[in-house]
Amino acid sequence: MPFPLSERERSRWNILALISVSHIIGAAAQYGINTLAPFYQHDLQLSRAQIGLFFTAFYLGMAGLSYVAGWLADRLGVRGTVLSGHLALGLWTIAASFAPSFAWAFGSFFLAGLGYSFLNPASTKGVMAWFYRDERATAMGIKQTGVPAGGVLAAVLGPSLVLLAGWRGALAGLGAINLFFGFFFWALWREPAAESGSPGSVDRSSPEVLAPLKVKSLISLSFGTALLLLGQMSLLTYIPLYLKETMGLSAYWASQALALIQMGGMVGRIGWGLVSDRLFQGKRKIVLVLIGLLSVALSLCLGWMPPGAPLYFLLPVIFLSGLCMVGYQGVSYALIGEIAGKAQTGAALGIVITVNSVGTIIGTPLFGHLVDSTGSYSIAWLLLAGAILLGIMALIFFLKEPKPV
């Protein structure tokens, strides 16, 4: 039976909490890669570029199955897609903890990325089904806070687990949590009641379902957000090493600083969603442009910051970088769903993630290579600022935003 309105409203916030926890658990395994880097770098005898290649491996996996995962989510539903993702992510993260070499770890993180690719399209489709447009960016932002919250969990829990069980035990623990949570999600997930006019009601024979995807708009959005994502991944991958090598922090405190970035990302994903829904009445493009311009300014600050800069200046820049470079995705995911329509959200997000991943696959190790080649982080941060600006120009000139309805 359809829920009374008040009961449906209560249920959708419970469902949103479940989706958000799914992101926390999945992202904790993902961000274990960079959080634990100062600990496993010596054991595996890795260069900075090789550490960046681990994120490349992860995103290669995501790119390889994102469209398929989104297509499956559109047709098979959220429950089974999320379960499959957590199981694969957990198993291959555990496998990475046994790595004796770079090649083993690279392969394991690639396969873990295949599993992670199932989580975002399915959860985004879930939000599109349960929430209306006037609150969708906020709900999407709340969902996406699970990703930086997972980073906070990894940054806080990971180094402590290293002290108890070594980096291998810490990584295996993050994988095991995913295995258990997959079955927990399966047991608790529910689809929205099929109420007339509800956000979750989809007629598979409707024009929205049968219409072709708006690939041109999705590609324009993909290019712009790919370079924002490059900023995010470069920030999250190299900040611990940057703080250790340039600013003189210990490996432990350099890893802990990731929590500050991820906290900024959590605030940003909710805050920018509210700005888009309330201040700009559901407009997404202008908010993404604003976030991008702030990200350019913050990358320039990191590039121009002198070695040993005082913490009262360094820490706010790191927090604000997280607010922008990590905090943008709730708004962008809402826009993806609105360009595609709720019936094709999974496939559309799969396309965007695939294109976004190319930027991360190429750009993240390139950032590390620039530092290895020049011996300086400044050049890499300044070039990153230029890349983000290029992406924002693409959004300004080529992205056509659908009108709010």
CATH of residue 263: 1.20.1250.20
State which residues form the domain around 291.
5-398
Percentage of the chain modeled with pLDDT above 90: 26
> Does residue 147 lie within any of the structural domains?
yes
| Range with lowest mean pLDDT among 33-47, 171-185, 223-237, 308-322 | 33-47
> Does residue 245 lie within any of the structural domains?
yes
> Does residue 70 lie within any of the structural domains?
yes
pLDDT at 360 over 80: no
pLDDT at 204 over 70: no
- pLDDT, position 46: 80
Cα–chain-centroid distance for residue 146? Answer: 9
> Does residue 49 lie within any of the structural domains?
yes
How far apart, in whole angstroms, are the C-alpha atoms of residue 202 and residue 204? 6
CB-CB contact of 130 with 16 (8 Å): yes
Q: What's the chain's average pLDDT?
A: 83
State the average pLDDT over residues 335-344.
77
> Does residue 404 lie within any of the structural domains?
no
| Range with lowest mean pLDDT among 159-173, 247-261, 289-303 | 247-261
> DSSP secondary-structure letter at 305?
P
- What is the band of 121 on the pLDDT scale with cuts at 50, 70, 90? confident
State the average pLDDT over residues 215-243.
83
State the average pLDDT over residues 306-312.
83
Helix axes of 133-144 and 5-35: crossing angle, nearest 10 degrees: 30
- What is the band of 385 on the pLDDT scale with cuts at 50, 70, 90? very high
> Does residue 403 lie within any of the structural domains?
no
Amino acid, single-letter form, for residue 199: P
Give the total number of structural domains in the chain. 1
- pLDDT, position 2: 47
